[in-house]
Amino acid sequence: METIECDIVILGSGIAGLTTAIHSSNESNRQLRISIVTKLHAMRSHSVAAEGGVSGVLYPEVSGDSIDLHAYDTVKGSDFLADQDAVEILAKNAPEEIRFLDHLGVAWSRDEKGRILQRPFGGMSQPRTAFAQDKTGFFIMRALYDEISSHKNVSIFHEHFAYSLIIERGRFSGLVCMDLASGESRFIKAKVCVIATGGASRVYGFTTTSHSTTGDGIALAYRAGIPLKDMEFVQFHPTALVPNGILITEAARGEGAYLLNSKGKRFMEDYAKSKMELAPRDIVSRAIITEIEQGRGFTHTESGLKYVHLDLRHLGKKIIDDHLPMIKEISIKSIAIDPVDEPLPVRPAAHFTMGGINTDIHGRAVADENGNVVKGVWAIGECGCVSVHGSNRLGSNSLSQCAVWGRLVGKQIAAYASSEGFNKGEAEKLAETERDRLEELASRESGEDPYKIKEEMQEAMDEYLYVYRNRVGMTRAKDKIEQLKARFSNVYVKDKSRSFNTNLRDVLEIGNLLDIAEAIAIGAMHRKETRGAHAVVEYPKRNDKDWLKHTLIFKNRGKIGLAYIPVKITKWKPVERVY
Ligand SMILES: Cc1cc2nc3c(=O)[nH]c(=O)nc-3n(C[C@H](O)[C@H](O)[C@H](O)COP(=O)(O)OP(=O)(O)OC[C@H]3O[C@@H](n4cnc5c(N)ncnc54)[C@H](O)[C@@H]3O)c2cc1C
């Protein structure tokens, strides 16, 4: 098997991965050898789909906004589960990162004075979401990709699928991946690995995320013994288009769109009188499901999905064309409804993974509840849990998180890779064993249909671990996932070709999704309270006395363990969350 040696390997080329690559490269005066490994072409990373914008206080002297207010909104939005020291870093550094992106050439929407426009977003008490129409992720990715392409010390391994993380004696040794074009495995030997593989919302069937968001890096870390944090908290975005789940950005409500039930009522006044449609997502999603369950929704004829209306008509064609052109195009092309003329059918869909790989405030992977780090491993972006989102992320805080920790981690890893050597051990041998396992999987003559397993997993997750959860449902989901995992051990890859074997790739992704589904179900079953995105029918209230703590779930020699660690509170004592 070919070995590629470098100083730093960055697994993932979304906004988190590319930002880290730029800063680590700059920090070393473009001297360190940096590899970016990505299962897609870099520019197809899920970040290109980000629509609404990126948060940060840009013009406090004009708006009256403040860093502290951004931090407090985030903490309150998180239902007080976010680590407040991390949130303070996010709010403080986000403006600098938006300006950095400006210097790289992001085509922000601007006002007549040339200032970057900022719009209101859910749970934010000021308009502080900078945007480039409703294609913010695409414009940011294009600027980052242009920039990294000029760094000659950085190699991008497009369409390379990582399937094993090699850690020996608590320290990173290398990464095993498959070149999808040839089907050959490669061992990437490096001193540092930054996991930036994005979220895992594809554990659900009804989701706003791309087919590639299969939580691979989270599952690799979990299997390598690194704990996952707060996996029970999955964000359901309130306004996914029915029946396909495509996101209608929160920016639509930021621009003033209404949510209406089948009686034509703006029902959010019964749930969050002061914020209305711009309450945080957990609250809006619960409100929509409550309306539907109480018979005030609509039913989609072909799919049977229930929904409410998102009405943009009063915004007028100009605002829609200038600020929301993509959602207009998507609605017309995919369901033949023009939001200028008719309300859109929407319901909540899985959207964001609040939990993820357990890290400290620096983004370093942490091996246990005592804070011992896994040397040489960092995790950032949606796959890492630092934790700035707690139990409910505020929209537009993810892109700022990717950018802020991209710089912080980039600087740290440049220093680490300049002073540390490679791990000594048997990594090449271990990589070959991993490769042999993959080859055995690919060569099986018969077995279980992976797509059937995936379908059953998604059905269980959609049914039992959606916006509202109950004890019986969560137990059923856990049992079902256990059965599916047993079946998966005998899974069959029908396609025997080497080049672009998407069947084999799918099987690897489904294996990862099953691990994630297991972590979500177990974390959820144990948390006996309602907090943020985890709403439990039997425990309808937040319970700070027993549950103001982060869940850690880990695998130790095949056995699953749970532990809890405290939430870091700096300035803001938890209070009742009213909007
Ligand atoms: C439709 C939509 C719109 C959104 N809009 C916004 C918004 O406006 N503002 C906001 O703040 N947030 C938004 N979010 C959330 C935000 O887009 C994501 O959280 C963020 O882009 C994640 O970036 P990332 O760099 O962590 O990962 P991603 O952009 O998901 O990138 C993951 C990378 O990892 C690579 N990868 C994964 N697995 C493997 C593997 N096994 N081997 C090799 N490579 C691998 C992929 O190829 C990819 O390059 C939105 C989410 C959705 C679904």
The reported pLDDT for the residue numbered 557 is: 80
Nearest to 398 by CA among 428, 367, 354: 354
Q: Residue 537 C-alpha to ligand 1 middle, in angstroms?
A: 31
pLDDT digits (tens, 9 = 90+) for 364-376: 999 999 999 999 9
Q: Which residues of 35-65 are buried (b: 16+ CB within 10 A; e: fewer)?
A: bbbbbbebbbbbbbbbbbbbbbbbeeeeeeb
Sequence-separated contacts (24+) of 540-547 with Cβ below 8 Å: 542/79, 542/80, 542/577, 544/80, 544/574
SS (H, E, C) 479-502: HHHHHHHHHHCCECCCCCCCCCCH
Catalytic: 237?
Answer: yes
The segment with the largest mean pLDDT, out of 26-30, 119-123, 324-328, is 26-30
Q: What does the alpha-carbon distance between residue 286 and residue 76 come to, in Å, rounded to a whole number?
A: 17
Question: pLDDT digits over 81-138, tens only?
Answer: 999 999 999 999 999 999 999 999 999 999 999 999 999 999 999 999 999 999 999 9
Average pLDDT over residues 45-68: 96
Banded pLDDT at 552 (limits 50, 70, 90): very high
How far apart (Å, rounded) are the C-alpha atoms in residues 495 and 222?
Answer: 28
Which of 177, 398, 404 has most ligand 1 atoms within 8 Å of CB, for mutation? 398
pTM of the full predicted structure?
0.97
Closest to 562 in 3D by CA, of 521, 507, 505: 521
Work out the number of other CB atoms within 10 angstroms of the CB of residue 329.
12
Residue 418 pLDDT > 90, yes or no?
yes
Cα–Cα distance, 356 to 75 (Å, whole number): 18
Whether the CB of 464 sits within 6 Å of ligand 1? no
pLDDT single digits (tens) 267-287: 999 999 999 999 999 999 999
In short, whether 406's Cβ falls inside 6 Å of ligand 1 is no
pLDDT digits (tens, 9 = 90+) for 438-471: 999 999 999 999 999 999 999 999 999 999 999 9
Which atom of ligand 1 is the closest one to the Cα of 201?
Answer: 53
Does the beta carbon of 394 lie inside 6 Å of ligand 1? no
- Give the count of alpha carbons within 13 A of 462, CB side only: 16
Encoding tokens for residue 238? 């309130």
Find where tokens 């080329």 sit.
13
Q: Ligand 1 in contact with 216 (CB < 6 A)? A: yes
- 210 C-beta closer than 6 A to ligand 1: no
Q: Identify the residue whose C-alpha is closest to ligand 1 atom 3.
A: 50
CA of 46 to the centre of ligand 1 (A): 4
What is the band of 556 on the pLDDT scale with cuts at 50, 70, 90?
Answer: confident
Q: Is 253 annotated as catalytic?
A: yes
For residue 534, the model assigns a pLDDT of 98
Burial class of residue 347 in the structure, from the number of CB atoms within 10 Å of its CB (0-12 exposed, 13-18 middle, 19+ buried): buried
The catalytic residue among 186, 237, 469, 531 is 237
> Which tokens belong to 28?
């070393």
Q: Which of 23, 119, 128, 253 is catalytic?
A: 253
Overall average pLDDT of the 312-328 stretch? 94
Cis omega (within 30 of 0) on the bond before 387? yes
Which of left, alpha, beta for 206 (phi over 0: left; psi -120 to 50: alpha)?
A: beta
What CA–CA distance (Å, rounded) separates 74 from 391?
11
Q: What is the pLDDT of residue 138?
A: 97
Instruction: Confirm or reject: Cβ of 53 under 6 Å from ligand 1.
Output: yes
pLDDT number for residue 88: 98
From the alpha carbon of 52, which atom of ligand 1 is closest? 8
Rounded to whole angstroms, the Cα distance separating 393 from 145 reads 26
Q: Is the CB of residue 305 less than 8 Å from the CB of residue 245?
A: no
Superfamily in which the 2-233+352-424 domain is placed by CATH:
FAD/NAD(P)-binding domain (3.50.50.60)
> If you measure from the C-alpha of residue 169 to the centroid of ligand 1, how many angstroms do you get, rounded to a whole number?
31
| CA dist., res. 232 & res. 241, Å (int) | 24
Tokens of 557: 């020699």
Q: What number does the ligand 1 atom closest to the CA of 247 have?
A: 1
Q: Which two tokens stand for residue 527?
A: 């948390």
Ligand 1 atom nearest to 399, measured from its CA: 11
What residues does CATH 3.50.50.60 cover in the chain?
2-233+352-424
For residue 94, how far is its CA from the centre of ligand 1 (angstroms)? 18
In the predicted model, what is the mean pLDDT of residues 492-508? Answer: 97
User: In angstroms, rounded to a whole number, what is the distance separating the alpha carbons of residues 355 and 477?
Assistant: 19
CA pair distance 37, 173, nearest whole angstrom:
15
Residue 328 sits at φ, ψ, to 5 deg, of -65, -50
Indicate if ligand 1 lies below 6 Å from the C-beta of 196: yes
SS (HEC) of 198-235: CCCHHHCCCECCCCCCCCHHHHHHHHCCCCEECCCCEE
Alpha carbon nearest to ligand 1 atom 51, residue: 50
Query: Which is nearest to 55 in space by CA: 518, 403, 520?
Result: 403
Mean pLDDT of the chain: 97
Confidence (pLDDT) at 106 = 97
Residue 164 has pLDDT above 90, yes or no: yes
Nearest-atom index, ligand 1, CA of 15: 25
Q: How far apart are CA 401 and CA 406, in angstroms?
A: 8
Confidence at residue 442, expressed as pLDDT on a 0 to 100 scale: 97
Residue ranges of the chain that CATH labels 3.90.700.10: 234-351
The residue-averaged pLDDT of 408-433 equals 97
Query: Per-residue pLDDT for 570 more than 90?
Result: yes
Backbone angles phi, psi at 74, to 5 degrees: -70, -40
Q: Is 11 in the pocket of ligand 1 (CB under 6 A)?
A: yes
Q: What is the pLDDT of residues 177-216, one digit of tens each?
A: 999 999 999 999 999 999 999 999 999 999 999 999 999 9
Q: Are 189 and 330 in contact (CB under 8 A)?
A: no
Q: What pLDDT does residue 274 have?
A: 95
Nearest-atom number in ligand 1 for the CA of 17 is 25
User: Does residue 145 sit in helix, strand or coil?
Assistant: helix
Provide the 8-state DSSP code for 115: P
User: Hey, what CATH topology would domain 234-351 get?
Assistant: Flavocytochrome C3; Chain A, domain 1 (3.90.700)
